[in-house]
Amino acid sequence: MAQVKDKTTKKKFTAAQKKEILADFKLGWVSRHMSLIGRKEVLTGKAKFGIFGDGKEIPQIAMAKQFKEGDFRSGYYRDQTFMLAIDHVTPQQLFAQLYAHADVEADPSSAGRQMNSHFATRLIDEDGHWIDQTKSKNTASDISPTAGQMARLLGLAQASKVYRNEKALKGKEWKKFSNKGNEIAFGTIGDASTSEGVFWETINAGGVLQIPMVVSVWDDGYGISVSKKYQTTKESISEILSGFQRTEDKDGYEILTVKAWDYEAILDTYEKAAKIARDEHVPVLVHVKEVTQPQGHSTSGSHERYKSEERLEWEEEYCCLEKLRQWILDNKIAKEEKLDELEEEAKAEVTEAKKAAWKAFMEPIKQEKSDVLDLLNKLSEETGNEKVGEYAKKLKNYPTAIRKDILAAARKALVATAGKQSSARGELLRWVEKSREENKERYNSHLYSETSKSPLNVEEIKPEYSYEPKRVDGRLVIRDNFDKLFEKYPNTLVFGEDAGKLGDVNKGLEGMQDKYGEIRVSDTGIREATILGQGIGMAIRGLRPIAEIQYLDYLLYCFQGISDDLATLRYRTKGGQAAPLIVRTRGHRLEGIWHSGSPMGMIVNGVRGVHVCVPRNLTEAAGFYNTLLQGDDPAIIIEPLNGYRLKEDKPSNLGEFTVPLGKPEVVKEGSDITVVSYGSTFNIVESLIPQLEDAGISIELIDVRTLLPFDLDHLIGKSLSKTNRLLVVDEDVPGGASAYILHNILEEQGGYFDLDSEPKCLTAQAHRPAYASDGDYFSKPNAEDIFETIYEIMREADTERFPAIY
């Protein structure tokens, strides 16, 4: 909005400008009343928890004016005004999310799966096809972990640079993701959260990459109750970041500061920030100072407990909405009566939206309650069971009963009438089964892709070999397979520490940067959290990134992002967003405490929603890349570190053959015992086959191949029904991945009933592996351990054939 900049000159505003200013004033009050009324809904018990954006209304309206179609937001749970301002959500939808309305029409962001103020644009349709991102104002699904939104911001912004500069992506099929790279990624964060390491990692990486992102820091002086004097050096994030300010001869950031209540200044600031980022692809940091937070952090506490009287009085005086009111009056844009009228209209609109959201939320639940009450009363009459009548009465007298209360009453009634024959009981039983199925869809669906593009649907194609296949180092198989993939998929790119010029530490990418350029094969700094974030953000924008984490134990640096963001993305949007990122790493049996860990139990239990591939060699690893790039789910591929120098036959159909997910392979058939393993440890077991055969033991050796998903067709269980004995060999700690595998085989596959001997797990020791070859031998399962464990299991069955070794 063009305005007179000279503060000494009397300002004049056109009718259109006045209309826009008053619309901003009203919108600000719509958002404020949502915060005020939303808090009451929580405190009166109609909602579980509330966190709101009061105090940030005006700066967010200013930011929204610069947010264009195609742009992306990676924000946090204070941005409700911004989302209203870009017409992304309505007040009714925001209340629906507050009530946890489990319907994607009511809450398009998460279908009730996320707490309020966690937003998301639906980026894929029900069939898994990308929706044109250039025709909408986009939000990557919010997460609560402090500063967690920053890592993916990097990738959302980098995608614009990739689309602007990569010649291979100029075709028509890529235009739904970018308009010549003109999109900005807007990030928002609270001032206290800038203390987190991922914030600093993101800021540094953004300056290095020179990408179009605008980071807004809302500075309200506190991190819940902790003053910023305990949070930030010099109590100013912009001051301590001043060294990042770009100069005429050095790249960096444009750093801008503005006060949250200064309407004119904040409009000018965001206009300047957006122009720099969009036109020049330069990152911008906007430090929004003197923000207020009228209701404190959330509904879980009161800010009066930690703010002084003076601070509370200041917050009332410097409320951005009150300051805007005074500015409007001072400039004679409208009279006080008009502003009062607009504020009342805002309150009335929010009140009506709240009522409509509550009605829409409760009506189907009330119908379910009515249906169950009828069945309970009928069951009580037919059986004469007093407990059933009590359950019905209690449910009837519960005015705000929700689905758990209704289903719990029905299930208790079934328990109370177990063994009774009754038509009402049959009806109630069918209702419970139907309810469980419906609620499974509401609350348990879309952890992984349920579209036709799921990698589980990719057809298996076996590796093919020439009559006399060339025997090569495993690294050449993976390298030449990557070459085929980069040629086949122009939106595929790989990045990580030493991935570019060196071609990765094991030369699995040797020569790829020279052939495909620095945009598609690039080096990064030592910063795993934001390497992952680059991958998440770019995957959301239609690219197929492979984020390289150099070694498996380095995964810990980015594990929070994998677990909290990547693994939950599809689930928390109920299928509305996807990030088919492949995390490439290498591990198992390297030397020393910090390079040889295999924390597979931690990984498997922390990344549900991500496929976990554990190939035994590089041909298998290549097949996983070929499979996953045809699918739409994220995955981690852990290449076996000692596989790069081991010889393998080189397939003739590189880039084409696939390895299926969740399909173990019987590498050797046998009759005495089923032995299950994966990765490098599998190869040790395989090397023992001749020695075991000499001892008269026939093992059925199975490579699980993927831990997530695990043996979808229960192949291992079928093997166990033949051998009746089981050994799981794993180099994780005791009770790690081996416990996960054993649970699947014995409980999920019913293997317990086929056992003739106690099932065994052979794992590493509980500590990290010690250094060097002896350290490996005495810390992880070795050949002698494996042989003797199998021998002892067989000895239990036949002591004469297998006499004691010791």
Q: Known catalytic residues?
A: 595
3-state secondary structure of 640: strand
Instruction: Quote the longest CA-to-CA distance of the chain.
Output: 106
3-state secondary structure of 222: strand
Closest C-alpha to 106, from 354, 355, 361: 361
The span from the CA of 99 to the CA of 120, in Å, is: 17
The span from the CA of 99 to the CA of 318, in Å, is: 31
3-state secondary structure of 666: strand
Place of tokens 């689930």: 571
Closest C-alpha to 704, from 725, 730, 722: 730
The CA-atom distances, in angstroms, between 181 and each of 144, 172, 213 are 29, 14, 12
Pairing status of strand 72-74 against strand 185-190: parallel
Evaluate the omega torsion of the peptide bond into residue 91 and state whether it is cis, within 30 degrees of 0.
no
Length of the chain: 806
H-assigned helices in 66-165: 80-85, 91-99, 149-165
Q: At what angle do helices 320-330 and 263-280 cross, to 10 degrees?
A: 110
Encoded amino acid at 138, one letter? N
CA triple 215-220-224, angle to 5 deg: 105
The span from the CA of 603 to the CA of 732, in Å, is: 11
Locate 720 and state its tokens.
């166990």
Place of tokens 């190869």: 683
Closest C-alpha to 706, from 455, 451, 453: 455
Closest C-alpha to 219, from 198, 204, 240, 205: 240
